[in-house]
Structure 1
Amino acid sequence: MDEINKNRLFLASCIALIVTAMTFAIRARLETVFGPEGIGLSLEQIGYAFTPAFWGFTLAMIIGGPLVDSLGIKKITWIAFITHAIGIILTLFATSMTSLFIATLFVGIGNGMVEAALNPMIASIYQENKTKMLNRFHVWFPGGIVIGALVGYLVMDVMGLSWQIMVATLFIPLVIYGALFLGQKFPVTERVQMGVSYGDMLKSVFKPLFIFMVVCMFLTAASELANTQRIESLLSKSIAKPLLVLAFINGIMAFGRAFAGQVIHKLRPAGMLLFSAIFTFIGLWLLSSVSGTMVIVAAAIFAVGVTFFWPTMLGFVAEYLPETGALGLSIMGGAGMFSVSVVLPIMGNMLDNATPSEVLRIMSVLPAILIVAFLGLNMYMRKRNSLRTEN
């Protein structure tokens, strides 16, 4: 570890995650370009064209997770860089549902490889503060969405420039993270450091607690990412500039994750997840019934809820199920993105046939289920900790 430049690797990782996050915000803006008022795709078709961003992400994480141990973190990181570059170029030339689908697939694979490589790398170089540093790393997912949302607003709405220029801005952080990773020495994964065999790692992902967390990841990811990805359609009738609301939500998320350490210390990961589910439910329910300035209040409550979902789910697995290794983190991230790939076209169909308020109420059922699930998780963890204390 002495030869590894932790600070540079962490900085490069954060910028790589900014690229991933900016694609989410820019894709949300592209809904208006390719949708009914643009080239004429229905919202359901847009949903299908965007799904590769999520199941491509899933595929990359599920394949990339095990390969992180065998090929190494470095090679997976450079695969992320190459597929990101291809996906951005193809997006610039997209003119139809099919070409947008293919471009989004490459972007999704690049995004997945970023998570597959860099989550276990951060868990490896910051073994004493895994959940804290994963939250700090994931500051730049909402942070990158804020950047992407503001870029989209400034380029297209303020300056009146083409959507291609908006997409081309992705090359700036792409080149920066490539330059920062260039020539660096990467660590081996924590599973390799611990000496856990590949077979034991495979067995560990079938533990009931891990399976429970995977199921919960389906719901936490859909609660956060499906709603924010379709924010243009969900809030178009209740506020003038939904993309700015997206920037506001993610600004709150970035701030919260930057100071997650103190919250983690007080609530522990299981308590944090319960807190998140409660606020997410309240926020979605309010968003379904308010308009004007009250949308900002409801969006703030929703943002407080989803702030800790993704990194704390990963941190919980890294902290309490470390033997699952890079595979465990990849399965978690993959499950989250797969759920969004399933939900997006369903939401598109609902939006074509129902009001945004009705769709938001339906989506609020997901965090309601999570409240019950995380109440159970808290009781289980308290019992488990008390038994360990007694022994």
Structure 2
Amino acid sequence: MHSLPQPKDSIVRNSREQTLAASPHAQRLLWSGFMAILAAGVGFSIRGGILGQWGEQYGFTQTELGAITGGGLTGFGIIILLSSLIADRIGFGPLMFAAFIMHLVSAALTLATGAAFAAGGKPLAFQCLFWGMFLFAIGNGIAEAVVNPLVATLFPKNKTHYLNILHAGWPGGLILGGLASYFMAGGGDTKPVAWEIQISLFLVPVVLYGLMMLGQRFPKSEASSSGISYREMLGELGIVGAAVICSLLALFFKSDLGLSPMVSGSIAAAMLVAFGAATGFRFGHLLLAALLVIQGLVGYVELGTDSWISKITGTIMASPANGLLLFVYTSFLMFVLRFFAGPIVEKISPLGLLAMSAVCGAGGLTLLGNAEGAVMCIVAATVYGIGKTFLWPTMLAVVSEQFPKGGAITMGAAGGVGMLAAGLLGGPGIGFLQDQNASNNLRQASPAVFERYESRTQDGTPKENEFLWLKTAGLDGAKVGVLEDDGKEAQRALELLENEKAKPEAIGAQQKLVDWWKNDAQPNAKDDKPLVEKAGLFGGRQALKLTALVPATMFVCYAFLLILFWMRGGYKARGMHH
């Protein structure tokens, strides 16, 4: 078993940080963490490319495929929060072993889908894929909760640099998974490579990080090794920091679990009181609470935008494939640039890097919202890609440098808040902006066409989409999808439901959609389609331009923090007993 170098004299004892950063052990754990994050990116990317094969092979509808891939960022955030609470209690090693097991079991369940389908048909195949993807998300969340404080512990003098290198694994995984999907997708007379082979590729980095961590002795976090008690770590987060998290959890209870606002708020308030009791009602730090709020904005603008941007840019460039390639290009930028964060922060400090990133993010989204043609899309995407590159890992570094006594808890809080904000606010918020602007555009262009594609309830009354306290009329995604593929998927889904003898209500709803297409929409499709496509393009453009206000707000926050630290003598990392 390898172990960390042991101090032999007083000089070495006073230089633990340099010893850790210079040891092969530290580098090995860094790159194993890189592989763990890369595995998440590869699996995420490849999964998106094989959904069509799952649908054709096992007869899943789009709704069922959405359920299989559901949970996503919100569940990821919750797992990070929960894992971070126990990381300093049970140690990094056992948690990483748990993540490794989750990834392996996820692969086993997913690859058993064919046998399950042969034995129990579509329902059993659905269960294999659903739980396989669910365990994949759990493994990713546990790994994220470990590798961030682990790298911060191993490289305490260069946290920004090495956390950026660590998180280069995510865009690296997206690139590798995207390229694998591109070359294995088939086309024309060429059949795609079996989806089982494609999804198995994520096991390569999983096995690598497992082997790299095998036999390694994981260090305790900075806080644990300095004798900071668990209660003190919780106290660093404090009531004010926990309030930020509980606010997002209240939104989760309402939006994802369907609880009433009163019940959701009551549960979140009870959780906050319980947390306060566990910490002796320590107030915490306003600066940390502010950083958590800013990290929520980072999650909104980075991960929330990523959920939509390839679709929106694909519409702008009149080619979904080109939109996907543009996303791969920005991922490549992120991958390369994250290796150069260290030299940059030596010149301008982490907060200076964050402020510059926010400016580029706001400028890039504004340019994308106004871009015409492929060249301008590439230019705009370059600016945006540079802007989002350093935000996430550098924010984690700032939290760790300013609140080292929080250990894995405060870093996990930052990661969890970012993921929750992306899932609860970013994706839905940008979708809401698209709905609102697309609907208004189509209503003004042709009230009759808008009425034909307006989202409606079962009884035929207009259905309003909600985001927080806001409401807007939206276009029916199912109807727009039917228009885009001339009713092919709707007819296929109806035949599947009938063959499986599904519930009468499900068959009736699908039959209603098919009848709507044949009797109402198809005769007008030639005139409707350009207007609907134009409305969708307008909605996407406006959503990007309005989303640019988020990084603009972040810049104001970073500027304020720069002034605050300047008044204190400049940005400096705080010591454990500061």
Q: TM-score, normalised by structure 2?
A: 0.61
Structure 2 partner of 1:62: 81
Map Cα deviations across residues 173-214 of structure 1 (whole Å, 9 max, x no partner). Answer: 111211221121111111111222222211111311111111
Contact 2:79 2:138 survives alignment (8 Å): yes
**In terms of Rg, which structure is larger?**
2
Q: 1:339 aligns with which of 414, 418, 421?
A: 421
Q: 1:267 aligns with which of 348, 370, 378?
A: 348
Structure 2 partner of 1:136: 165
Structure 2 partner of 1:78: 97
Pairwise CA distance, 1:29: 3.6
Structure 1: tracts of 5 or more residues without a match: none
Pairwise CA distance, 1:308: 0.4
Change (3 A) 1:228 1:70: same
Pairwise CA distance, 1:116: 0.9
Answering whether residue 35 of structure 2 is matched by residue 15 of structure 1, we say yes
Structure 1 partner of 2:292: 214
User: Partner of 2:193: helix, strand, or coil?
Assistant: coil
Structure 1 partner of 2:308: 230
Q: What is the CA–CA distance in structure 2 between the aligned matches of 1:97 and 1:279, rounded to whole Å?
A: 42
Contact 1:274 1:374 survives alignment (8 Å): yes
What amino acid is the match of 1:119?
N
Q: 1:327 aligns with which of 399, 404, 409?
A: 409
Pairwise CA distance, 1:120: 1.1
Q: 2:212 aligns with which of 161, 180, 188?
A: 180
Map Cα deviations across residues 210-235 of structure 1 (whole Å, 9 max, x no partner). Answer: 11111111111221112223344222
Structure 2: tracts of 5 or more residues without a match: 7-22, 115-121, 239-284, 436-473, 476-535, 573-578
Contact 1:15 1:173 survives alignment (8 Å): yes
Map Cα deviations across residues 93-148 of structure 1 (whole Å, 9 max, x no partner). Answer: 49798876544432221111111111111111112212211111112222222112
Alignment of structure 1 residues 84-233 onto 2, 5 Å: 84-91=103-110, 93=113, 102-156=131-185, 160-206=192-238, 207-233=285-311
Structure 1 partner of 2:379: 297
Change (3 A) 1:234 1:26: farther
Map Cα deviations across residues 53-101 of structure 1 (whole Å, 9 max, x no partner). Answer: 2122212211111211111100110111122233344455497988765
Answering whether residue 543 of structure 2 is matched by residue 359 of structure 1, we say yes
Q: What is the CA–CA distance in structure 2 between the aligned matches of 1:368 and 1:270, rounded to whole Å?
A: 15
Contact 1:138 1:257 survives alignment (8 Å): yes
Map Cα deviations across residues 18-41 of structure 1 (whole Å, 9 max, x no partner). Answer: 102223323444576689xx9542
User: Partner of 1:276: helix, strand, or coil?
Assistant: helix
Q: 1:286 aligns with which of 342, 345, 367?
A: 367
Q: What is the CA–CA distance in structure 2 between the aligned matches of 1:89 and 1:298, rounded to whole Å?
A: 41
RMSD over aligned Cα atoms: 2.8
Structure 2 partner of 1:376: 560
What amino acid is the match of 2:300?
A
Contact 2:42 2:201 survives alignment (8 Å): no
Range with bigger deviation, 314-323 or 289-298: 289-298
Contact 2:358 2:554 survives alignment (8 Å): yes
Which structure would you say has the larger RCO, counting Cα contacts within 8 Å and 6 or more residues apart? 1
User: Partner of 2:400: helix, strand, or coil?
Assistant: helix
What amino acid is the match of 1:295?
C
What amino acid is the match of 2:101?
I
Q: What is the CA–CA distance in structure 2 between the aligned matches of 1:332 and 1:34, rounded to whole Å?
A: 35
Range with bigger deviation, 345-354 or 186-195: 345-354
Pairwise CA distance, 1:6: 1.8
What amino acid is the match of 2:410?
G
Contact 1:48 1:345 survives alignment (8 Å): no
Pairwise CA distance, 1:49: 5.6
Answering whether residue 71 of structure 2 is matched by residue 52 of structure 1, we say yes
Q: What is the CA–CA distance in structure 1 between the aligned matches of 2:73 and 2:305, rounded to whole Å?
A: 14
Contact 1:149 1:246 survives alignment (8 Å): no
Change (3 A) 1:157 1:302: farther
User: Partner of 2:568: helix, strand, or coil?
Assistant: helix
Q: 2:337 aligns with which of 256, 269, 274?
A: 256
Contact 1:276 1:308 survives alignment (8 Å): yes
Contact 1:47 1:348 survives alignment (8 Å): no
Contact 2:364 2:383 survives alignment (8 Å): yes
Q: What is the CA–CA distance in structure 2 between the aligned matches of 1:173 and 1:293, rounded to whole Å?
A: 35
What amino acid is the match of 1:125?
L
Q: What is the CA–CA distance in structure 1 between the aligned matches of 2:101 and 2:234, rounded to whole Å?
A: 29
Map Cα deviations across residues 264-291 of structure 1 (whole Å, 9 max, x no partner). Answer: 1112111111111111111112122223
Q: What is the CA–CA distance in structure 2 between the aligned matches of 1:15 and 1:254, rounded to whole Å?
A: 13
Q: What is the CA–CA distance in structure 2 between the aligned matches of 1:157 and 1:228, rounded to whole Å?
A: 25
